[in-house]
Amino acid sequence: MVRLNKIYTRTGDKGTTMLGTGERRVKHDLRVEAYGTVDETNATVGLARLETASMAELDAMLAEIQNDLFDLGADLCTPDSGEELAYEPLRIIASQVERLEKQIDQLNADLDPLKSFILPGGTRASATLHLCRTVSRRAERLITELASLDNEPVSPECIQYVNRLSDFFFVAARWTNDKGKKDVLWVPGQNR
């Protein structure tokens, strides 16, 4: 169990933070940027949930995602260096990716196929879910950049999860737009 009795510790006053392994890194380190952007994604999901509270099924899915995002942040915060730790680090696992895929399929089954790209909007719920999508895409870019570096391990499940996540937000945004009927379609070159 996590216990936070004191919020400020002063340990980061010199611009560093501690990973789950005990290693200190500068706060602008790519790994810290990656899990920080996962945290930012989680905050946008909290905002979206204010708009989806009356949609019990979707809101329950978003609650699961918020918990998963803490798991993802914990996974990224504790890189697998091959060294034994005093505790079992939390990892994203395949079943979390599979659950997200099933939820995408479930929501997508109610939607007509797209014939155009769509613009973020239509309803407030949809717009907030598009914000979730774009922030999660930024997290994905940072995570995949981190994974491309030597000595910066990132599990395939982390990458798979964050990739599915933006797909989930896209489909959920359409679903909240009266199952796509209120989607705002992009008209190429409309304002030339």
Beta bridge partners of 25: 17
**Up-side HSE of residue 34: CA atoms within 13 Å toward CB?**
28
- Alpha helix segments (H runs only) across the chain: 30-52, 56-77, 94-108, 124-147, 156-176
Paired tokens of 142: 């940072």
Beta bridge partners of 118: 185
Alpha-carbon span 184 to 48, nearest angstrom: 19
Could you read off the pLDDT of 163-186 as tens digits, one per residue?
A: 999 999 999 999 999 999 999 999
24-78+91-177: which CATH number, 3.90.1530.30, 3.40.50.300, 1.10.3720.10, 1.20.1200.10?
A: 1.20.1200.10
Q: What is the pLDDT of residue 25?
A: 84
Chain-centre distance for alpha carbon 84: 28
Paired tokens of 119: 């613009």
% of the chain beyond a pLDDT of 90: 77
* Among 129, 121, 104, 170, CA closest to 41: 129
Could you read off the pLDDT of 87-122 as tens digits, one per residue?
A: 888 999 999 999 999 999 999 999 988 888 999 999
Rounded to two decimals, what is the model's pTM?
A: 0.93
Q: What is the pLDDT of residue 167?
A: 98
Q: In whole numbers, what is the pLDDT of the chain averaged over residues?
A: 92
